[in-house]
Amino acid sequence: MEQRGVRRVADSLPGVLSAPWSARTWRLVLHVLLGLPVGLLTCAVLLVLGGLTAGLAVTWVFALPLLAALFWCSHRLVALQRARFAALLGVELVLEKPAAPPAEGGWVRRVLAEARSSTTWRWLGYHALAGAGGVLGAALLLGLWAAGLAMATVHLGTTGLGRALPYTMGLHQVLLVVLTVAGIAVLQLSLSVARGVAQLDLALARQLLGPSQRDRANQLSERVVTLTEARAKVVEAADSERRRLERDLHDGVQQQLVSLSMNLGITRRKIKDMPEPAREALAQAHEQTKQTLSDLRQLVRGLHPAVLDDLGLDAALSGIAARSPVPARLRVDLRQRPSGTIEAAAYFVVSEALANVAKHSGASEVAVSVEQIEDPARGEIIKVTVTDNGCGGASEKAGSGLRGLVQRVGGVDGTLHIDSPVGGPTVITAELPCGS
């Protein structure tokens, strides 16, 4: 909202020059004119309460109530300025969050705590600058209007300036034209001045009333932490959903297909006197059922292998290495079992890499290494390396499988690197944080 308001003020100059009677232009003008009473009120509050507080500082008994009144007025003036910006410039100012007052100790401790807060003095600094600036800006605008109107209406002959002009016909007319044009230019200029004063006021408010650099950095850090935690929860929820689907398919549809395949097999063996067309149809149904069951098992393993939860990463990788069409050597060296999310990511890196080796590489052997190492920048990580002696040329741009791996590894704050020159060898390296 604030950024949109800033752009609205920043883009207002063309509107001021081309449409001086537009609502946007006069909202800017009204904002500047209201700076006069608001500035006078602010200056009066600061001079009276600030001066009395400073004068009675040696007698803290009297100074503290005045200081409390000054701080209270500061908050009310901030609310007034925010309302002025919102109503006339369309800007919702984001304020710096004041320090939380102490829970105990009464109003004296609250006043002292507020006096130690940098936010308090930044706000008071804004009031001092904006108060004086509001008065000066409004006075400048009114002065330009007065001068512009005097010059633009000099041809009416009602002003002292008009009566003082030489009455020589030619010179008199030229001067009237010049002054009239200059007056109109000054009036037009006053609208641009109003825009500049409003922009300066907005920049000052954002700098002193808004969050400081340290607070913005803290807010950004908190936002990063929140987004990181939210992403970890999403990844964990996705893995949990995959595990649930795997269990449902394994315990439901897969068992039903197993039972159907067994019944079809028993029927083929028991019934010998069926007509040949019926026997062929039964045999075909049996084979299709077994093929569907095999496809379903592959799908279930692709979702989330049950052995990964039951026996861990070493046993799960041993299974896919044993099933690999290309002879695979596996080495797993983990000092401790990582989280389920990291185990799943490592498993699917190896699974997809072995599938790509079998389909595309033409390799005669592949080596898989999974180890836990210490990274100087990230601490403990799981490093997964898959190396084959195939033809190379693998790239995440060439197919969806490797692109999916890059996204999956990135989802747990890991990195995936593919080194696959044409002619081979291909080395796929994934580094996964242990703590995700």
DSSP calls for 91-159: --PPPPPPPPPPSSSHHHHHHHHHHT-HHHHHHHHHHHHHHHHHHHHHHHHHHHHHHHHHHHTGGGS-S
* Look-up of token digits 């190896």: 350
Q: How far apart are CA 337 and CA 431, in angstroms?
A: 15
Q: How far apart are CA 164 and CA 128, in angstroms?
A: 43
The closest of 26, 82, 33, 60 to 209, measured between CA atoms, is 82
Task: Give the helix/strand (H/E) hosting 67.
Answer: helix 60-89
The closest of 22, 414, 21 to 231, measured between CA atoms, is 414
Tens digits of pLDDT across the chain (436 residues) = 444 444 444 444 444 444 556 778 788 888 889 989 998 998 888 888 888 877 777 676 777 888 888 888 888 898 898 888 888 888 888 787 666 666 566 777 777 777 778 788 888 888 899 889 889 999 998 998 888 888 888 766 544 454 555 544 456 677 777 888 888 888 888 888 888 888 898 888 888 888 766 666 666 777 777 666 666 666 666 666 666 666 656 556 667 777 777 777 777 777 767 777 777 777 777 778 777 777 666 666 555 666 777 788 888 888 888 888 888 899 988 888 888 778 888 888 888 888 888 888 788 889 999 998 887 777 788 899 999 888 888 777 666 567 777 877 887 888 888 888 888 788 999 888 886 4
The answer to whether 348 and 401 are in contact (CB under 8 A) is: no
Which SS3 state, helix, strand or coil, does residue 434 take?
coil
Chain Cα centroid distance, residue 393: 36
The closest of 178, 31, 184, 4 to 94, measured between CA atoms, is 4
Q: How far apart are CA 235 and CA 237, in angstroms?
A: 5
For the full predicted model, state whether its pTM sits above 0.75: no
Q: How many helices (H) and strands (E) does the chain have?
A: 16, 5
E strand residue ranges, 224-365: 328-333
| Amino acid letter, residue 90 | G
Q: Edge to edge, what strands does the sheet with 328-333 contain?
A: 328-333, 366-375, 379-388, 426-433, 415-419
Q: How far apart are CA 42 and CA 67, in angstroms?
A: 15
